[in-house]
Amino acid sequence: DDVFVSSTNAYDEAMNHLGRELENGRLVRLLAKLGTINERPEFDGDPNWSETEHRYTLKLFRDYVFHQVDAQGNPVLDLGHIISCLNKLDAGTEEKIYLTSRDHQSTFLVTYRELKKQIHSAFGDLQKGNTKQ
């Protein structure tokens, strides 16, 4: 009887741990995608990434997620913000966010769905390896 209880307990605990770590792999894969596309020197001359073109918002999204600051300009390190942004990006929600360029000159209002589409196509370009045309 005791053996049965403790084995069930062990099973419960294993499930509990599994549930806690379930999301990690997904987040790492998402971060890996973002990491591989952002700031690639091959993209430097690519008009798609210039200020007048559509992939500019991806640069600004990176700043939005990772470079948060408070009213005094001090960095805010909030893992909750980062993960919730990444989760929304992963799912591609219709929520709209403001993205502002570093010089404050450009402001965009973008949905996570639009960003997801952009990243998907940028990553697709990398897979095809045709970024240097």
Size of the site for another protein (CB under 8 A): 50
The verdict on 30 binding another protein (CB under 8 A) reads yes
Distance CA 112, CA 15 (A): 31
> Of residues 83-122, which lie at the interface with another protein (CB under 8 A)?
83-84, 87-93, 95-98, 103-110, 114, 116, 119-120
- Type of residue numbered 129: G
In the range 40-79, which residues lie near another protein by CB under 8 A? 41, 50-54, 57, 77-79
d(CA 33, CA 25): 12
DSSP character at residue 47: G
Positive or negative, the Cα torsion across 55, 60, 61, 67?
positive
Give contact residues for another protein (rule: CB under 8 A): 19-24, 26-27, 29-30, 32-33, 41, 50-54, 57, 77-81, 83-84, 87-93, 95-98, 103-110, 114, 116, 119-120, 127
